[in-house]
Structure 1
């Protein structure tokens, strides 16, 4: 691990959404680096879930709070007195957003606004990384990667809510926070893969569930192109960005996180690798989407963050999928989620 890892030792860090998949991994990693972590989130929404399986509650000051409750959120932020904030709390699923659009908009837009407003009430915060999504861009379905200056948009409620939150974040940065020396950035990350994700309607968790139960995996859009990456890739990037912002607040802005644009691949290619790794697995491919629009092509230009951090993704896609299935297989055989996550983090750090 680079010497910059010492940066987090003893620092007060707030994570919203720490009970989620990425939030649980990030809490574990920051605790490992010596940070004093406070987590604010709803209770885990899936069963099983990584937060419970890895005993993440023992690694942080754990608070259950709906970020749409402005007063409760502000109280907890004031109590935590964080120097660094990672905002991951969200309604994170595209298809769920069609079923619950108002919940999606209120959580992803007003939840972000509530956190930003709370920051105006504390004087300890130096850097903030607010995670949105690679889906914030107006998607014209072309084989061209979007850079951070591309037009924002969103067909489905999830994408639209995250694009809208980008505007809210930019407004608070310019109108209120920059003049106080608070460095505020958004992180637009591609599709993440890793052990401990049991969400519905995500490719690898769906594959694990189907194949472990000896059922066929149903694939809606096999030719859809996405930027896939191991969960540790963007999390390491978020931590590095938080440090950069702390030391150089003028770097505040929007950043894409993901593999190089030419490494984005189709769902079919991911499944081909996954079946080879798993050793078996039946798949039914469809060419329909049950009336719900999802982007067919999505690629990111990540040159801005690559140039800033001077690093490249550590694990290529084949290794990412291998490590992910190894994680699920080992967990299913009785190894603890905490130990499996720690092993992956140690392996990742050794390559930095």
Structure 2
């Protein structure tokens, strides 16, 4: 309960500017912040579908205000953020998928690179103290797929436009920290900024196109077999509450010691806890008693996606005292059980898992 007490003490009554609040991870983050007693202003594009999690949980009612706008609009970002005068900024807004980045590379770079620069520039214009956590991805690393778990100091890179855009965003973040938010000048600028790199998140309510869990759920709903593009690919699967808890813990530590954590942090499962796409699919389907309801894709023309990707979270464990609470299998089962439970609303299911995660496992 020590972590929960710290989070409640830190965020209760605080003003939080949350970009990407209408997205899958953003909707979970919005619920956790609301549960902790924070006042949230969201800034994001509108939800794409009626059954997106944000709509299912009544996300608008969880916000002090919800701004539907684009992070590519510098003037709007700056106006809304400076007017709100937040204590914390969590920047989640992004074009977050690999395959669509091949179709719209320029939009991907504009959103992920310039969108991040716009949020940081808006923070620079903010007169008071503010703590900012910039969310990127585990895919920011140059990945030769040799089996090593990536550490924060490893080389940045990216084969596909999505990964490259997020690596570029990391460079932008580091530049702003060094140029405008240095530790030595904190008394003048009063800004603390860190970047965070998390793995492939899964959880209830994800309706995205081209992601494995929503693909499985749609196949179950239509009575089809799931088609696996890369069944042997290894990913750092983690329940969405794992990185959210980590982001909040980091922000709380930054609030306590504003010059001590202005850096990059990995938040991933133990790198020995490896599961392939096929492993995830079988475990997920087992909750529905359909373990074999999948098939492997034989298309050899598919675009490049990394087949092996793991993070080393030693830094977060040693400096922040953070460790993952759920194994990959538990994360998969929690997710499948969320979709399988038809007795509760989406908001009730999320609240139940939030309470269990933060009260039982911390």
For normalisation by structure 1, the TM-score amounts to 0.97
Aligned length: 350
- Could you tell me which residue of structure 1 aligns to residue 345 of structure 2? 336
- Could you tell me which residue of structure 1 aligns to residue 40 of structure 2? 37
* Secondary structure of residue in 2 paired with 1:292: coil
* Secondary structure of residue in 2 paired with 1:205: helix
Report if aligned partners of 1:221, 1:288 keep a CA contact under 8 Å in 2. no
Separation in 2, partners of 1:51, 1:219:
27
Report if aligned partners of 1:220, 1:289 keep a CA contact under 8 Å in 2. no
- Could you tell me which residue of structure 2 aligns to residue 115 of structure 1? 119
Separation in 2, partners of 1:28, 1:271:
27
How far has the Cα of 1:291 moved from its partner? Answer: 3.3
Specify whether residues 211 and 7 from structure 1 end up closer, same or farther in structure 2 by C-alpha distance, changes over 3 A only. same
Separation in 1, partners of 2:172, 2:213:
32
Q: Kindly provide the CA deviation profile for residues 216-255 of structure 1, in whole angstroms up to 9, marking residues without a partner as x.
A: 1110111111100000000000000001112222211001
Structure 1 residue 198 corresponds to structure 2 residue 207: yes
Structure 1 residue 68 corresponds to structure 2 residue 77: no
Specify whether residues 90 and 78 from structure 1 end up closer, same or farther in structure 2 by C-alpha distance, changes over 3 A only. same
- Could you tell me which residue of structure 1 aligns to residue 6 of structure 2? 4
- Could you tell me which residue of structure 2 aligns to residue 306 of structure 1? 317
- Could you tell me which residue of structure 2 aligns to residue 211 of structure 1? 220
Report if aligned partners of 2:275, 2:328 keep a CA contact under 8 Å in 1. no
Structure 1 residue 135 corresponds to structure 2 residue 173: no
- Could you tell me which residue of structure 2 aligns to residue 58 of structure 1? 61
Report if aligned partners of 1:94, 1:156 keep a CA contact under 8 Å in 2. yes
Of residues 77, 82, 100 in structure 1, which corresponds to 2:104? 100
Report if aligned partners of 1:46, 1:199 keep a CA contact under 8 Å in 2. no
Q: Kindly provide the CA deviation profile for residues 234-277 of structure 1, in whole angstroms up to 9, marking residues without a partner as x.
A: 00000000011122222110011110111132111111211222
Report if aligned partners of 2:274, 2:328 keep a CA contact under 8 Å in 1. no
Structure 1 residue 48 corresponds to structure 2 residue 51: yes
Separation in 1, partners of 2:300, 2:106:
22
How far has the Cα of 1:65 moved from its partner? Answer: 1.0
The within-5 A match list for 1:309-320 is 309-320=320-331
How far has the Cα of 1:160 moved from its partner? Answer: 0.4
Separation in 2, partners of 1:99, 1:72:
27
* Secondary structure of residue in 2 paired with 1:339: helix
Separation in 2, partners of 1:306, 1:271:
29
Separation in 2, partners of 1:47, 1:208:
16
Of residues 148, 151, 160 in structure 1, which corresponds to 2:164? 160
Separation in 1, partners of 2:306, 2:299:
12
Structure 1 residue 253 corresponds to structure 2 residue 263: yes
Of residues 263, 267, 271 in structure 1, which corresponds to 2:277? 267
What root-mean-square deviation, in Å, do the aligned CA atoms of Structure 1 and Structure 2 show? 1.3
* Secondary structure of residue in 2 paired with 1:273: helix
Q: Kindly provide the CA deviation profile for residues 180-219 of structure 1, in whole angstroms up to 9, marking residues without a partner as x.
A: 2311111101000100100011111110110121001110
* Secondary structure of residue in 1 paired with 2:72: coil
Separation in 2, partners of 1:348, 1:184:
26
Of residues 275, 281, 286 in structure 1, which corresponds to 2:297? 286
How far has the Cα of 1:112 moved from its partner? Answer: 0.6
Separation in 1, partners of 2:322, 2:110:
36
For normalisation by structure 2, the TM-score amounts to 0.94
Structure 1 residue 347 corresponds to structure 2 residue 349: no
- Could you tell me which residue of structure 2 aligns to residue 240 of structure 1? 249
Structure 1 residue 90 corresponds to structure 2 residue 94: yes
How far has the Cα of 1:287 moved from its partner? Answer: 4.9
